[in-house]
Amino acid sequence: MQLLEPAVRDWDFPRHVRGIAVLVEHAGAHGLAPRTVLAGTGLRVADLARDDLEATAEQELRVVRNLLRHGSGPARSGVVLGRRYRVETFGIAGYALVSSRTLLDAMNFALRFMDLTFTFSIPHARVEGDTVVIETWADTLPADVRDFLVARDLAAVEAVLRELFLGSLPTAYDGPRARVTLPASYLDAELPRANPAAQALAAELCADLAERRRDASPLAQQVRILLAQRLRFDPGAGGVADALGVSERTLRRRLAAEGAGFQALLDEVRASLSARLLATGGLSVAEVAERLGYAEAASFIHAHRRWLGATPGATLRA
């Protein structure tokens, strides 16, 4: 009965836009318009429904700050927000959790892949006698959002743990001490929706995603995320530099220092998305070109031939 250490201790990792969607839904439930909480992020409401889109940690922090600035009462409660999170919020990682064999397996999976969640205050767990104690590392969080995010993240941990047992897990959220506790005897209990084959497949997909994220250089990773968000309306270096708060010249210089180039990253993002869009077979070449930010299909066809040595039409017919 051993609980792992979290694989990451730094909150500055990419996260799916689903996490921001929960924030926007919470804000809306307390009278705040989406445009108010999304202000300054470069994200639109339609972006939050996309399965293929990630956000930077700074974008989610901007949403949190907007919420705290404009909200009042329950809107400013991290606990109220945290209890809105569900297993399905975490996508494939959530599926791996719910299909784990035991609670210990699920908790250790979460600790291994903490950077596939939306947490900012990194949870860690230990056994004290007959109790599991879950606390967080939050020292590096910005002071203006620290208390809110610690409360949100611990409340979300409790909500997800209870959901794994269909609500029958006796947990205790201790806000003043910033921790969640539960009986250690439950660690070896089998989860009601355990499915070893499904869990193995989901875990493999999570491992691939985590490896790609962890191997990427920090700046190049942020640029990829912002490009994916901006492809349809402004995939230029100037707009991405503005979103990062630097000049275009500084952006290109810093990318070069990491061994990356802006055009290469743009091609990479476009090639990856075009492969997914063409594979569905539901879009024409012109429609795919538009989604990738090309003014005309001919430019996309030329680029696709450069990437793969074949036209997108050939890919559609394959």
> Does 280 map to a domain?
yes
At 316 the pLDDT is: 64
At 258 the pLDDT is: 87
Instruction: Tally the domains of the chain.
Output: 2
CA–CA distance, 152 with 148 (Å, rounded to integer): 6
At 315 the pLDDT is: 66
- Largest distance between two CA atoms of the chain: 67
At 314 the pLDDT is: 73
Region of residue 31 (left: phi > 0; alpha: psi -120 to 50; beta: else): left
Cα-flanking dihedrals φ and ψ of residue 126, to 5°?
A: -150, 160
For helices 91-98 and 103-112, the axis angle rounded to 10 degrees is 150
Instruction: Tell me the residue range of the domain where 59 lies.
Output: 15-211
Burial class from Cβ neighbours inside 10 Å (0-12, 13-18, 19+) for residue 227 reads buried
Same domain, 65 and 80: yes
Sign of CA dihedral 299, 304, 306, 307: positive
> Does 207 map to a domain?
yes
Which are the contacts of 132, defined by CB distance < 8 A and separation ≥ 6?
3, 125, 126, 181, 182, 183, 184, 186, 187
CA-closest candidate to residue 232, choices 272, 280, 288? 288
Same domain, 165 and 258: no
CA-closest candidate to residue 255, choices 270, 269, 265? 265
CA–CA distance, 127 with 102 (Å, rounded to integer): 16
Q: What is the CATH number of the domain that holds 263?
A: 1.10.10.60
Cα-flanking dihedrals φ and ψ of residue 225, to 5°?
A: -60, -45
| Residue ending a domain, choose from 196, 211, 226 | 211
Q: What is the CA radius of gyration of the chain?
A: 21
Q: What is the CATH number of the domain that holds 109?
A: 3.90.1520
pLDDT-flagged residues of the chain (< 50): none
